[in-house]
Structure 1
Amino acid sequence: MNDRMMKAVLFDRYGGPEVLYVGRVPRPEPAPGEVLVKVRAFSVNGGELAARAGRLRLVSGRTFPKRVGLDFTGEVAALGGGVTRPAVGERVWGVLGRTSGFGSAAEYVTVPAERVGRVPDGLDLVDAAALPVATTAVTALRDKAGLRPGERLLVRGAAGGVGNAAVQLGQAYGAEVTALARAANLDFVRGLGAHQAVDHRSVRPADLGRFDVVLDTAGTDLETFRRLLNPRGRMVTIAFDLKRPVASLGYLAASTVHGRGRVRFFSGNPTQDHLDDLARYVREGKLRPAVHTVFPLEETAAAHRALEAGGVRGKYVVRVA
């Protein structure tokens, strides 16, 4: 077998999960400032589902084959020029940056050295793959919203990858956490530390009361949930409505100057500092991985299909080797 090649999950056209397949591509070499990581596991994220389906084709274009995979855990296999840390063999995790696109669904990936962090000792690399996107919850609650002890926090999509981390961190930050999730997942989010768990299909948002911070992971009905803010409330969303992208992004922009409470929108782009914070929360027992199901690399399409079906508790993780 040619050791200059590696397995990777690819697709040659936009479409459903069935377009994904495991092919062989050249193994990357780390450029100066980069590390080569032997990937052990990655998780499936909503953004890559949208990209695979062609909802972001105005950005991603029509050059194929394309790749999937946003986050990863693994071991450092080689160092690019000028890199001294992390060391070869060190267990690391990370999230590919905005300019890198997708591609962690593979046996190897190259990443700038400043975009990987050390995985806490004792944490299995497959379980750990559920956590890198939790940096988004850290940024949303701590840095964007400035969540304070005693405040009321509403987490929309509380059982998902970012949502379950937000519930755990909200409780750790001393907030009173209300979690919106499917009825089947209410016990799950209570177990994460939610003070109230509410079936999002059986309640009107207006009946939930007022909140100091709203964290949205869906990107729809933003105006409705914005109305739940207290006078000094803050709302953060990590998504926009992919069915109405222009209108949704327009509303986000308009919220900065109209009405009560700006809606802060951002996409996760963690650095080593964010990943080090994540590791500290894990060591302190404030955050734990929530893995719904582990799939082998050859069944990545099944993992995409499961996430699209809804009802996930935590993360769908794919084991590479």
Structure 2
Amino acid sequence: MTDPTMKAVLYDRHGGPDVLYTARVPRPEPARGEVLVKVSAFSVNGGEVIVRAGRFRLLSGRTFPKRVGLDFTGEVAASGAGVTGFATGDRVWGVLGRTSGFGSAAEYVTVPAERVGRLPDGLDPVAAAALPVATTAVTALRDKAGLRPGERLLVRGAAGGVGNAAVQLGRAYGAEVTALARAANLDFVRGLGAHRALDHRSVRPADLGRFDVVLDTAGTDLRTFRRLLAPGGRMVTITFDPDRPAASLGYLAAGTLHGRGRVRFFSGNPTRADLDGLARHVTEGKLRPAVDTVFPLEETGAAHRALEAGGVRGKYVVRVA
């Protein structure tokens, strides 16, 4: 690595996908406890699209340029002091932690070693970039909801990045899975293992029946879907309404404090143990990557635009190397 710079995707102001551009920036060096990863691919996530659009200016700050990219696959290029368990050339995947922000849309990224896991043998690194976000589905179903065999699971947004993983895992965990998605994606989610796949635009929630677990990836109409819980049911949401963030967060807080904990909100923040558990799910055949389209790095803006348009089947992935 003689060139001290690298390509990265940046933006200098909030706005639509067109604000994204590719430029050369200084290549980072790993600090103590970090690894430097040569990125093979990353996926586009809803959270970074919302931040880029400027809906969370108070949280994201006013400093520019800003970066995008949350997850990644690649190879270890170097390790900082104190890092054990990884060698140069190891194939890895991971998710940047909450304190790191975005930045995996680049040729190299530094990551705390505890946020990196080994890529399963035989898994293509570009396709694998669709999977790190699946740690959110694992945590939601297994840890937050305590999904048990024979229970009835409803997945909202079943064709998306977390949703498609939740359908696969729900089936693998022995649940009866009902999936809500766009009409054009119903065959796709059936192929993932859903017992029932329904058009979310035409079916009335009141006609869906009762569920032991509801996994929400939309953040809207939470009250409506909470009413579908059977006695002892649990609802987990991984996002909130981006158009009404204050009201949405207020409802989630009230639901947790005054609703016997039946509505649970969390944001994924996977550790190495989570990523290693994800790798076991892949190796055991419980989970496979679902890639809609692969874009080159210079077309990251097009990937953002496609996600905003809706209708994704799995993940939009950007190939870096």
Q: Secondary structure at the match of 1:256?
A: helix
Residues 38-89 of structure 1 deviation map (CA, whole Å, 9 limit, x = unaligned): 0000000000000100011100111100000000000000000011221110
The 5 Å alignment of 1:1-321 reads 3-259=3-259, 262-321=262-321
User: Percent of aligned positions with the same letter in both sequences?
Assistant: 86
Task: Tell me the distance in 2 between the aligned counterparts of 1:39 and 1:261.
Answer: 39
Residues 75-106 of structure 1 deviation map (CA, whole Å, 9 limit, x = unaligned): 00000001122111000000000000000000
Residues 224-266 of structure 1 deviation map (CA, whole Å, 9 limit, x = unaligned): 0000001100000000011111111000000023346621000
- Number of equivalent positions: 321
Contact 1:68–1:105 under 8 Å retained in 2 = yes
Contact 1:226–1:261 under 8 Å retained in 2 = no
Report the AA paired with residue 88 of structure 1.
T
Q: Secondary structure at the match of 1:236?
A: strand
TM-score normalized with structure 1 length:
0.99
Q: Secondary structure at the match of 1:255?
A: helix
Q: Secondary structure at the match of 2:249?
A: helix
Report the AA paired with residue 165 of structure 2.
A
Task: Tell me the distance in 2 between the aligned counterparts of 1:257 and 1:278.
Answer: 31
Contact 1:232–1:261 under 8 Å retained in 2 = no
Q: Secondary structure at the match of 1:36?
A: strand
RMSD: 1.0
Contact 1:233–1:261 under 8 Å retained in 2 = no
Task: Tell me the distance in 1 between the aligned counterparts of 2:244 and 2:68.
Answer: 24
Q: Secondary structure at the match of 2:256?
A: coil
Task: Tell me the distance in 2 between the aligned counterparts of 1:127 and 1:136.
Answer: 18
Task: Tell me the distance in 1 between the aligned counterparts of 2:259 and 2:93.
Answer: 40
Report the AA paired with residue 216 of structure 1.
D
Q: Secondary structure at the match of 1:150?
A: coil
Task: Tell me the distance in 2 between the aligned counterparts of 1:315 and 1:228.
Answer: 28
Task: Tell me the distance in 2 between the aligned counterparts of 1:234 and 1:118.
Answer: 32
Report the AA paired with residue 174 of structure 1.
G
Runs of 4+ displaced beyond 4 Å: none
TM-score normalized with structure 2 length:
0.99
Residues 148-182 of structure 1 deviation map (CA, whole Å, 9 limit, x = unaligned): 00000000000000000000000000000000000
Classify 1:80/1:2 alpha carbon distance in 2 versus 1 (closer, same or farther; 3 Å).
closer
Unaligned runs of at least 5 residues, structure 2: none
Task: Tell me the distance in 1 between the aligned counterparts of 2:32 and 2:258.
Answer: 46
Q: Secondary structure at the match of 1:304?
A: helix
Which shows bigger deviation, 305-314 or 261-270? 261-270
Q: Secondary structure at the match of 2:239?
A: coil
Contact 1:76–1:87 under 8 Å retained in 2 = yes
Classify 1:7/1:131 alpha carbon distance in 2 versus 1 (closer, same or farther; 3 Å).
same
Residues 13-39 of structure 1 deviation map (CA, whole Å, 9 limit, x = unaligned): 000000000011110000000000000
Classify 1:72/1:192 alpha carbon distance in 2 versus 1 (closer, same or farther; 3 Å).
same
Task: Tell me the distance in 2 between the aligned counterparts of 1:115 and 1:130.
Answer: 16
Task: Tell me the distance in 1 between the aligned counterparts of 2:260 and 2:119.
Answer: 41
Task: Tell me the distance in 2 between the aligned counterparts of 1:245 and 1:39.
Answer: 33
Task: Tell me the distance in 2 between the aligned counterparts of 1:2 and 1:183.
Answer: 51
Task: Tell me the distance in 1 between the aligned counterparts of 2:28 and 2:112.
Answer: 13
Task: Tell me the distance in 2 between the aligned counterparts of 1:243 and 1:284.
Answer: 39
Report the AA paired with residue 156 of structure 2.
R
Task: Tell me the distance in 2 between the aligned counterparts of 1:258 and 1:183.
Answer: 36
Contact 1:231–1:261 under 8 Å retained in 2 = no
Q: Secondary structure at the match of 1:163?
A: helix
Q: Secondary structure at the match of 2:103?
A: coil
Residues 183-232 of structure 1 deviation map (CA, whole Å, 9 limit, x = unaligned): 00000000000000000001110100000000000101001000000110
Q: CA deviation at 1:267?
A: 0.5
Task: Tell me the distance in 1 between the aligned counterparts of 2:272 and 2:259.
Answer: 36
